[in-house]
Structure 1
Amino acid sequence: MTLPRMTRHTALTAIFAIVALALAILAGRALIAQVSGDRGIAAIASSTDIDVGGIEVDVTADNAYAAREKGWKQAIQDAWKKLKGPAISQGQLESLVSAVVIEREELGPKRYIATLGVSFDRARAGAILGRGGQAARSAPMLLIPVTISAGTETVYEVRNPWQRAWAEYQPGGSRVDYVRPSGANGDSLLVTFGQTTRRSRTWWRNILDQFGASDVLMAVADLRYRWPGGPVDGTFTARYGPDNTYLDSFTMSARNPAELQAMLNKAVRRFNTIYEKALADGQIKPDPTLNLGTPQLDPAVQQLINLGRNAEAQARARAAAEAAAAQAAQAGEPTGGETLPVQTPAIVSSFVVQFATPNAGAVDATIAAVRATPGVRGAATSSLAIGGTSVMSVSYGGSLSELAAALKARGFTVRQGGNALAISR
């Protein structure tokens, strides 16, 4: 049985509508998938404590708890030695500690093996170490942790150990003010590896404004797995700025994937040392090309421009005055030593005049011509819009209609409405 042509057309239309609806639903799901999922690691709250990490201890005692306590005391002493602190009693030393961070630990019946970090209170320890004053810090720097593995560049697309290492890093004592995005929601779309290769200052300014940063740091970790479950070699590169400027690089290795996170944590501290040195050497400094504000001319150049505009306006005003005097002479108005009749002083009123200003020269020319109009006592811009319509306030000894007639005599096209005029050439 053959369907009528109209029926076939209706059926095809319905099929196309269903397909379009299905594609729209799938596209929406794909877009949601790009910003959802298991991603995002919030950075820990930073403090100003003096942190010393990577302290390795291996001690034995009568039981597990005694071994852990002994290991922590040894870690505190070793951390103090790393800071080159003076000799003080164990009790006084422990009173300076604000936290002991467990990076890795193995606890046996009588043995304690661990890698620990020790945080000393800056106010108390700084007085003993002679570092009570806080060194000047950098401007807020957006930190982008890039992982390269198996030919894929990753930032926040999925959770990864390199992002975790930076999120868990405690930068309170660093001179570098790190801005570390969590990577959740739209961060994975906004901050990508492709962004690090862009040079557009407009693109970068938009990104930096989203996170309240002034510039950008790129920490690149190129990880190579020798074989599954085997050693992991890492090549780490520190870069800076929208031009992806190279600062320094180094290599580290982990014996197996289980030790990868510990290696990355050490690499983060190494990066901080590189960035602090670059800051001290003046390599990390504000990039003026990232400032998209109104460009500022050199004061000397701006003064020359202003002098030229003033001279041009004065020349136009003199020419207008001479032309007005010539017209008055032709009309038989009294000049020279003739006795002028006593005139009643005109009432000076202020009127609003709109005028087109396609460029700065049009502003000066229009104001000069209005000021030279007979009866005008003064004219000044009250609203300036280059490329649009500006507004001036005109003091005139007469009525609005008389001002309109005077401006028409000066060659202006005048439109009158209410208590204002609009003029153009």
Structure 2
Amino acid sequence: MNIVFPSSRPTNERLPTAIAVLTVLVLALLAAAALYAQVSGERGIAPVASSSDIEVDGIEVDVHGDNAEEARANGWREAQRIAWERLDGPEIPDSRLESLVSAIVVEEENIGPRRYIARLGVIFDRQRAGALLGAGGERTRSAPMLTLPVLISGGTQTMFEVRNPWQRAWAEYQFGSSTIDYVRPSGSGGESLLLTYGQTGRRSRAWWNNILDQFGAADVVVPIANLRWEWPGGPVEGRFTARYGPDDRYLDEFTMRAASAEELPAMLERAVARFDSIFAAALADGTLRPDPTLTLDNIEISPEVRALLDAARAAERAEQAAAAADNDSSASGSTDAGSTPEPVETAVAAASYGIQVATPAASDFDGAISALRALPGVSRVSVRSTAIGGASVFDVTYAGELSALAAALRQRGWAVNEGQNALGISR
């Protein structure tokens, strides 16, 4: 009698598979945790809201009074007079001067029983004080400029990867009265992965257009702060360089020095003001202007200018229609009575289609965007998803049918697969 025992081979064969599956799951969890760690934490510093008020800071006062409260009031009044003198304002009584002040900013103060020593800032309301200062009119502002503050310290270049004093100085500075329209990212979430020092060295217009579209900007300015510490906590020497544009062009540079780590924030604040003056001067002489190779579809046009453009386009269409009518009437007189007139083409409404493109390399991604934007009838190309080494997806606004778009792509050497309101293309 033969006794057959059940074989254990199936269990032994399933064990390596289970171990492999478990290993893959563990690695996936570790990868997700690493990606979350890259974008989590306190990375971003939200920029303050811009105000058009007139601010004068760094006013030092040293006054006395019968008590601490009176000494402080005397110091604030003295700061208002000094700020008004710095603005070259006309002579007015203190009662009217106080009505022009909207806020007092206490930068540093020491209050004694009868003495008040402080460094203050005075903010004047532009609507009330602008007429007296001759600054009531509107000033020309720049196009929206994406601002990428770069900090170089200890041989490391950082931007939004970690919170740093240079990012904080740009986030907290008040640019309401500046002629530059700064677009200041907060650096939170995925912005810390997208906006890095390496981005400032890119030359691809396709990449820059995608980034500028996300932030509603027309061009980019790059203020660089290179800090060198003589010893930990000791004096700090700063070399500051202003660059702009997708080609990282040099604009100007200057140096500053802080005696200690405590004075570093004040030095960086002065540096931001100096950068603003450099960029404003470049705007005035025509140097700081949007790069013509970048698309400007994202810039908001004022209603007045838009109305003029619409009126000009309507007049042009009317002239074209009148010319077409004259040609038709002259052609009908010379043709036979039995001939049939040629059909008149009607305008086709623009529609949005999804385009999936094989992008095995970054150059293929750039080439696909450039090729799609160069197609006749394409008015806009936006990126829905990017997959270098896989298939990227674009949204294309095209004035025509999907079949016409597919035919145009085939004529340019693309292999095209038509789907439901979408195309898949590859070289």
Determine if the alignment matches structure 1 residue 84 to structure 2 residue 106: no
**1:214-244 per-position Cα deviation (integer Å, ceiling 9, x unaligned):** 1111111111111111111111111111111
Partners of 2:91 and 2:165 lie apart in 1 by 38
Cα gap change, 1:60 to 1:8, in 2 (>3 Å): farther
2:16 aligned with 1:52, yes or no?
Answer: no
Identify the residue that residue 117 of structure 1 maps to in structure 2.
121
Question: In structure 2, how many angstroms separate the alpha carbons of the residues matched to 1:197 and 1:36?
Answer: 26
What's 1:206 paired with?
210
Give the match for residue 79 of structure 2: 75
Residue of structure 1 in register with 2:395 after alignment? none
CA distance in 2, matches of 1:73, 1:63: 16
1:21 aligns to 2:25 (yes or no): yes
* Equivalent pair of 1:48/1:122 in contact (CA under 8 Å): yes
Query: What is the rounded CA distance, in whole Å, between the counterparts of 2:400 and 2:49 in structure 1?
Result: 47
**Which residue of structure 1 aligns with residue 353 of structure 2?**
none
Secondary structure, in 3 states, of the residue corresponding to 1:250? strand
SS in 1 for 2:341: strand
Q: Which residue of the partner structure matches residue 142 of structure 1?
A: 146
Q: How far apart are the structure 2 equivalents of 1:190 and 1:169?
A: 23
The Cα shift of 1:15 comes to 1.6
CA distance in 2, matches of 1:38, 1:245: 32
Query: Is 1:202–1:292's contact at 8 Å kept on the other side of the alignment?
Result: no
Counterpart of 2:151 in 1: which secondary structure?
strand
Q: What CA distance in whole angstroms lies between the structure 1 residues aligned with 2:278 and 2:23?
A: 55
Q: Could you list the per-position Cα deviations for residues 322-345 of structure 1 after superposition, in whole angstroms to 9, with x for gaps in the alignment?
A: xxxxxxxxxxxxxxxxxxxxxxx9
Deviations 1:265-317 (A, max 9, x none): 11111111111111111111122110277xxxxxxxxxxxxxxxxxxxxxxxx
Aligned residue type for 2:141 = R
Task: Indicate conservation of the 8 Å contact 1:54/1:266, yes or no.
Answer: no
Aligned position for 1:169:
173
- Distance of aligned partners of 1:112 and 1:147 in 2 relative to their CA distance in 1, 3 Å threshold: farther
Structure 1 161/67 Cα, relative in aligned 2: closer, same or farther at 3 Å?
A: farther
Give 1:101-250 correspondences, 5 Å limit: 101-250=105-254
Moved more, 94-103 or 52-61: 52-61
Is the contact between residue 223 and residue 242 of structure 2 (CA under 8 Å) also seen in structure 1?
yes
Decide whether the 8 Å contact of 1:204 with 1:242 is kept in 2: yes
Cα pair 1:64 1:109 within 8 Å, conserved = yes
Q: Using the TM superposition, give the Cα deviation of residue 175 of structure 1 relative to its aligned residue in structure 2, in angstroms.
A: 0.8
Q: Is 2:404 the counterpart of 1:389? A: yes
User: What is the CA distance between 1:116 and its match in structure 2?
Assistant: 2.0
Matched, 1:267 2:271: yes
Deviation at 1:133, TM superposition (A): 0.4
Instruction: Report deviation, 1:385.
Output: 5.3
Q: What is the TM-score of this pair, normalised by structure 2?
A: 0.68
Which has the larger Rg? Answer: 1
Report the Cα distance in structure 2 between the residues aligned to 1:166 and 1:272, rounded to whole angstroms.
Answer: 10
Deviations, residues 331-384 of structure 1 (Å, cap 9, x unaligned): xxxxxxxxxxxxxx9xxxxxxxxxxxxxxxxxxxxxxxxxxxx96431344457
Structure 2 counterpart SS, 1:175: coil
> SS in structure 2 opposite 1:53?
strand
Indicate whether 1:34 and 2:38 are aligned.
yes
Unaligned 5+ segments in structure 1 are 294-320, 322-344, 346-373, 391-425
| Unmatched tracts of structure 2, length 5 or more | 1-6, 298-334, 349-398, 406-427
Query: What is the distance in 1 between the residues matched to 2:115 and 2:151?
Result: 36
Q: Contact 1:240–1:246 at 8 Å: present in 2 too? A: yes
Taking only the aligned residue pairs, the percentage that are identical comes to 59
Cα pair 1:103 1:262 within 8 Å, conserved: no
Distance 1:196 1:107, change over 3 A: farther
In structure 1, C-alpha distance between the alignment counterparts of 2:84 and 2:48, rounded to whole Å: 24
Give the secondary structure class of the aligned counterpart of 2:343. Answer: strand
Secondary structure of the structure 2 residue equivalent to 1:377: coil
Aligned residues: 314
Deviation at 1:22, TM superposition (A): 0.9
Q: Distance in 1 between matches of 2:116 and 2:256?
A: 26
- Report the TM-score when normalising by structure 1: 0.68
In structure 2, C-alpha distance between the alignment counterparts of 1:152 and 1:61, rounded to whole Å: 51
Inter-partner Cα distance in structure 1 for 2:21 and 2:112: 67
* Equivalent position of 1:377 in the other structure: 341
User: Secondary structure of 2:149's partner?
Assistant: strand
Counterpart-to-counterpart distance in 1, 2:20 and 2:164: 42
| Residue in structure 2 matched with residue 282 of structure 1 by the alignment | 286
C-alpha distance in 2, partners of 1:47/1:231?
33
Quote how far apart the aligned CAs of 1:67 are: 3.0
Letter in 1 for 2:240: F
Give the residue type in structure 2 aligned to 1:54.
G
Taking the aligned partners of 1:207 and 1:166, their CA distance within structure 2 comes to 20
How large is the RMSD of aligned CA atoms in angstroms? 2.7
- Checking the alignment, whether the CA contact within 8 Å between 2:103 and 2:124 is kept in structure 1 is yes
Shift of 1:4: 5.0
State the shift of 1:109 in Å: 4.1
**Deviation at 1:62?**
4.0
- Report Cα offsets for 1:377-404 as digits up to 9, x if no partner: 31344457599538xxxxxxxxxxxxxx
Note closer, same or farther for the CA distance 1:190–1:238 as it changes in structure 2 (3 Å cut). Answer: same
Greater mean alpha carbon deviation, residues 7-16 or residues 45-54: 7-16
